[in-house]
Structure 1
Amino acid sequence: MKGSTYIKTGIIPEKQHYYKVQTSRGLDLKAICCYAATGFFLEDDTFWKHQKVLKPATDYEFDSQGQVKNKTPYFQWHYNPRIISFEQALDEFEHLFETIISEQTKGKKVILPLSGGLDSRTQAVALAKHSHLQTYSYSFKNGYPESRISKRIANALGVPFTSMEVPKGYLWDAIEDLAEINQCYSDFCNPRQMAFVDQYAEIGEVFSLGHWGDVLFDGMGEDVQWTTEEELNWVLKKVVKKGGMELATRLWESWGLDGDFESYFMERIKGLLSNIDIDNTSAKLRAFKSLYWAPRWTSVNLGVFESVAPITLPYYDNRMCEFICTIPEEYLKDRKLQIAYIQRKSKKVANITWHQQKPFNLNNYHWNRTPYNLPYRVISKIERELRAVVGRPHVARNWELQFLGKENDQQLQGWLFESGFDKLVSKEVIQEFYTNFKMKDAVWYSHSVNMLLTLAVFNKKFGS
């Protein structure tokens, strides 16, 4: 129809598409409180009342004025397991996964971010015979050297590898560029890839990214049916960050919003869960995360990669989502399909340390329990304590490299206290959480400070 435009969103959208609704303009303070608690916006929320985000798996038609004329969902997450053997499921996964990757990367120089986990390792064995493959990995300065695992995987497959290190304080030179990329819809410490944007373009033409494989290809098993309350508690535990509820509550109160934040937030989560018509709890929670977490958190920072080169995401492919809904949960439990695929394709790669189960690998990770893992745990603890004594404390999270230390603290304070941020958030609230971070518990309040920094940058760049 003349004047109409159409958008079809993915089952897991790679990017956010915004549209305007006919309502009063202004900041959506309730939505921002949810954002402060979790680090991502719920459902179709944005910073603004008059702006929304297109929902996943939906065909949209817009009129000439940009208003939604029609919207038709074309996919619902479900759980309809087929009666097939594990070997049949593995064969189907192998064919589908390799077909998707071939379609996405054929004839291109591929950049594969490689970690010590399973998602990118699964991609690596699928791409091992690709004629132009470059892998890389990074570790935190003074952190666990995950790049060593990645390098072993690359060497086992005979593919090029580059090791990188996340530098201390890189954020402050990159923060405004990052804000332009993610529009402040994510905090600034999680997209660590921003530290290396100048290096990516030199090593390939297209990214093959492993995002969301760990959610699709894991589960709790076949006979898991929790109560509504148990499901709600699990979601709250997963999505609310340390200190997030406290920050959101203080913002809610300082802005004079009706009611209380916790009740509002819990009712919203209950409503989102109740809309998912799946009995099996494992499949239902996967659907929840794929509907609300993936597009509003994971996808937001894909733009960092895309600012350098086109991106491909085999686990985001609609066919992969449809496939998962038909696979028995027992086959997905404990990453069974991915592990079996890697074992089938490369025994060498299967024998390399699995980061999440270190020092064990894909063949013996079942032994990662007391007393078998005690020697490793004791030695690791001693090493961390010795490094702290000599002034090189162990780094496990990016905020430790970006927020701690005199120069970082000066930059952080500049954004929190000297950028006009108090026009959005009161000085009292800012000072309270900054002081708690510095004097009380840095780990617990790191998320709160991270979100206040994000809101401060938003206020400066987009708030007026």
Structure 2
Amino acid sequence: MPAMPDDDPPFLILRRDGERVVVRGAESWASGPHGKAATVWAEWGWTDGRLTARVDRYGFYTLFWYEKDGVVAVSPSLVKLVAEGCDATQDARALAVFHRIGIFVNDDTPLKHVKTLPPGGVLTWDGTGAVRVESGATVPGTQEISREGAVDGMITHFRSAVARALEEHTGPFHVPLSGGRDSRHILLEVLHQGRRPEACVTFHHNGAVPNREAMAARALCERLGVTHEMLGFGRPRLADTLRALVMTSLCADEHAQMMPLNDYFLGRDAVSFDGIAGDILTNPDDSADWFMGLSRKGDWKGIAQGMIDGHGRVVSQSHWGKGAGPIYSPGMDEEVRDYVAPAIAQYADAPDPYQMFWMFHRTRREINFVPQAILGSARHVFCPYLDPEFVEFCISLPYSVTKDQQLHNDAIARAYPEVADIPYQEGFPEPRVRRNSKLRKLGGVRDAAQIVAALGGESRVRAFLGFVRFPDKLTRHHGDIYALHALSLDGLDAAKARRLLDLAARLRARRPGRLISDRYEGA
């Protein structure tokens, strides 16, 4: 997929004017080539008085669409739609869900009149009547398979997925490498198939001292003789958060930490791999067993409440624990629970309903912005875990073979025994975290002043103080995200949306020049 600058995303706006349709923007657009290894993509075309827009099989490319008062619009950027005049009325319920579980569910967005296309979604409009949206989503059955068969199947299907990508792209590529399973599996498999990346890239925020994730990545690269570049220099906290919020169209409370990768690929004519969905497809998390028990009872509200409570603990300081909901959308707990519960219940017949919900509502709606936006500065991003054969195999596995959370470990160890002794990140000691320097803190004050000046309303002083003081209820990281999210939406209209895009572009132009803090020269 081609790079998509923060300040000039593509769009198409169609307005019914009597017997004709007034067209503004790109009449046709595609996110990139749709070869057999393409798994995250979108496109639209206005031809012979008919609009057709579609997204990939699992809907992992977020394409926003708008309809109101005879106007229909599409864009990969919600902010761009508003900047071009689309109604920015907020969706209070969708925002309340976001404040409580950190994601937007179904096809909701922060705005009432803007939605996303569903998995395999196809939108059509003939210039009259309402927009029609069809979904290709399905719920899998459960296959009969042993644990040994599941391990072998994972190896085989993933090997085929990577082979399709390498067949489609015969040139150089990079592999962002974490200390976990997903990216390690990608690296080991491309090497198994006789291809070597130009470099593996790992970001962390601990200066010259690598954290344990970077240690695990380096240990693997040294064993394999692969060039490894660490991006460890300190970052402008608020600037990265604002840039990430605009890139993700105000639809995610993550990804600011990944801005070093975005900067790394900016200006490079590079191809990258990404391990999106590898975790949720291969291992449930620590809550899965509890949620499976609730799903067998049909207690969907119980699962929804568990998600709300869990997210609240993650984003809060220990003395608070209630999350962002009571701060930004008070009094809506029950409404959120009643709305999220049926979104989970639609997967009642899947082998693991919780896995399916997380796959198609968090991974599809939030983590998807990594290949689409954060790595969008690369020329193309391959996502082999979203290969249809691999996905359909994994989501139909019985819970009994995935519940111990070791399936991916076992598959990697069996396929590549020569590196089975290298621990993942949890096997390395966590080093001491470096404190921010006074110079970086002054830079944060400058960024806060610039952001508030561009976006703040009447309470600019209070907003500024909120960014330079430590938040009293949420963590520093999440306090910044939710505060900036609320500030961006407050009074959002075309003029403010343009200021958001312009501010993100200015912050990008002022991005840190130092990126690679340490480099290992491979063979």
Q: Normalising by the residue count of structure 2, what TM-score does the alignment of the two structures yield?
A: 0.69
- Alignment of 1:186 with 2:273, yes or no, is no
Report the alpha carbon displacement of residue 37 of structure 1 after superposing the two structures with TM: 3.6
For 1:181 and 1:403, how far apart are their aligned partners in 2?
27
Instruction: Give the fraction of aligned pairs with identical amino acids, expressed as a percent.
Output: 16
Distance change (3 Å), C-alpha of 1:46 and 1:232 = closer
- Aligned match for 1:286, one of 355, 366, 373: 355
Q: How do residues 152-301 of structure 1 correspond to structure 2 at under 5 angstroms? A: 152-169=219-236, 172=239, 178=244, 181-187=247-253, 190-200=255-265, 205-219=270-284, 220=288, 224-226=292-294, 227=297, 228=299, 229-240=301-312, 242-243=315-316, 247-252=324-329, 260-278=331-349, 283-301=352-370
- Alignment of 1:89 with 2:150, yes or no, is yes
- Aligned-residue CA RMSD (Å): 3.6
Instruction: Kindly indicate whether the alpha-carbon contact (under 8 Å) linking 1:331 and 1:337 is maintained by their aligned counterparts in 2.
Output: yes
Distance change (3 Å), C-alpha of 1:248 and 1:442 = closer
Match of 2:61 in 1: 15
For 2:246 and 2:363, how far apart are their aligned partners in 1?
20
Match of 1:141 in 2: 206
For 1:122 and 1:66, how far apart are their aligned partners in 2?
48
Report the alpha carbon displacement of residue 114 of structure 1 after superposing the two structures with TM: 0.8
3-state SS of the aligned residue for 2:232? strand
Report the alpha carbon displacement of residue 120 of structure 1 after superposing the two structures with TM: 0.8
Match of 1:131 in 2: 195
The residue type paired with residue 326 of structure 1 is S
- Alignment of 1:326 with 2:403, yes or no, is no
- Alignment of 1:78 with 2:140, yes or no, is yes
Distance change (3 Å), C-alpha of 1:354 and 1:70 = closer
The residue type paired with residue 396 of structure 2 is T
Report the alpha carbon displacement of residue 176 of structure 1 after superposing the two structures with TM: 6.4
Instruction: Kindly indicate whether the alpha-carbon contact (under 8 Å) linking 1:40 and 1:296 is maintained by their aligned counterparts in 2.
Output: yes
Q: Deviations over 1:135-171 (max 9, x none)?
A: 1212222562422211221232332222221423275
- Alignment of 1:440 with 2:503, yes or no, is no
Report the alpha carbon displacement of residue 450 of structure 1 after superposing the two structures with TM: 1.6
Report the alpha carbon displacement of residue 70 of structure 1 after superposing the two structures with TM: 4.9
For 1:223 and 1:252, how far apart are their aligned partners in 2?
26
In structure 2, stretches of 5+ residues that fail to align are 1-46, 70-85, 501-523
Report the alpha carbon displacement of residue 2 of structure 1 after superposing the two structures with TM: 5.3
For 1:44 and 1:177, how far apart are their aligned partners in 2?
23
Instruction: Kindly indicate whether the alpha-carbon contact (under 8 Å) linking 1:43 and 1:292 is maintained by their aligned counterparts in 2.
Output: yes
Match of 1:363 in 2: none
For 1:462 and 1:65, how far apart are their aligned partners in 2?
30
Q: How do residues 358-397 of structure 1 correspond to structure 2 at under 5 angstroms? A: 358-359=427-428, 384=432, 392-393=434-435
The residue type paired with residue 175 of structure 2 is L
Q: Deviations over 1:110-152 (max 9, x none)?
A: 2111111111111111111443413121222256242221122
Instruction: Kindly indicate whether the alpha-carbon contact (under 8 Å) linking 1:78 and 1:277 is maintained by their aligned counterparts in 2.
Output: no
For 2:291 and 2:480, how far apart are their aligned partners in 1?
41
For 1:5 and 1:16, how far apart are their aligned partners in 2?
18
Instruction: Kindly indicate whether the alpha-carbon contact (under 8 Å) linking 1:44 and 1:52 is maintained by their aligned counterparts in 2.
Output: yes
Q: Deviations over 1:239-272 (max 9, x none)?
A: 445249654334336xxxxxx3212211111221
For 2:281 and 2:326, how far apart are their aligned partners in 1?
32
Report the alpha carbon displacement of residue 51 of structure 1 after superposing the two structures with TM: 1.5
Instruction: Kindly indicate whether the alpha-carbon contact (under 8 Å) linking 1:19 and 1:52 is maintained by their aligned counterparts in 2.
Output: yes
Query: Number of matched residues?
Result: 413
Q: Deviations over 1:170-213 (max 9, x none)?
A: 753x66655553333334x6243322434336877321100121
For 1:223 and 1:305, how far apart are their aligned partners in 2?
33
3-state SS of the aligned residue for 1:21? strand
Match of 2:503 in 1: none
3-state SS of the aligned residue for 1:348? helix
Distance change (3 Å), C-alpha of 1:442 and 1:266 = closer
The residue type paired with residue 225 of structure 1 is G
Greater shift in the superposed pair: 426-435 or 3-12: 426-435
For 2:451 and 2:257, how far apart are their aligned partners in 1?
20
Q: Deviations over 1:396-419 (max 9, x none)?
A: xxxx79998343134225434x33
Instruction: Kindly indicate whether the alpha-carbon contact (under 8 Å) linking 2:241 and 2:480 is maintained by their aligned counterparts in 1.
Output: no
Match of 2:22 in 1: none
Match of 1:370 in 2: none
Report the alpha carbon displacement of residue 289 of structure 1 after superposing the two structures with TM: 0.8
The residue type paired with residue 440 of structure 1 is D
Q: How do residues 23-102 of structure 1 correspond to structure 2 at under 5 angstroms? A: 25-30=87-92, 31-64=94-127, 67-71=130-134, 73-82=135-144, 84-102=145-163
In structure 1, stretches of 5+ residues that fail to align are 254-259, 360-375, 394-399
Instruction: Kindly indicate whether the alpha-carbon contact (under 8 Å) linking 2:262 and 2:376 is maintained by their aligned counterparts in 1.
Output: no
Instruction: Kindly indicate whether the alpha-carbon contact (under 8 Å) linking 1:168 and 1:402 is maintained by their aligned counterparts in 2.
Output: no
Match of 2:443 in 1: 407
- Aligned match for 1:340, one of 410, 418, 439: 410
Greater shift in the superposed pair: 44-53 or 163-172: 163-172
Considering fraction of residues, name the structure with more helix: 1
For 1:195 and 1:233, how far apart are their aligned partners in 2?
34
For 2:258 and 2:332, how far apart are their aligned partners in 1?
33
Match of 1:316 in 2: 386
Report the alpha carbon displacement of residue 453 of structure 1 after superposing the two structures with TM: 1.6
Greater shift in the superposed pair: 407-416 or 216-225: 216-225
The residue type paired with residue 28 of structure 1 is Q
Match of 1:422 in 2: 457
For 2:245 and 2:307, how far apart are their aligned partners in 1?
28
3-state SS of the aligned residue for 2:403? helix
Distance change (3 Å), C-alpha of 1:439 and 1:206 = closer
For 1:319 and 1:402, how far apart are their aligned partners in 2?
51
Q: Normalising by the residue count of structure 1, what TM-score does the alignment of the two structures yield?
A: 0.76
The residue type paired with residue 192 of structure 1 is Q
For 2:255 and 2:102, how far apart are their aligned partners in 1?
10
For 1:124 and 1:194, how far apart are their aligned partners in 2?
22
3-state SS of the aligned residue for 1:422? coil
3-state SS of the aligned residue for 2:230? strand
Greater shift in the superposed pair: 203-212 or 5-14: 5-14
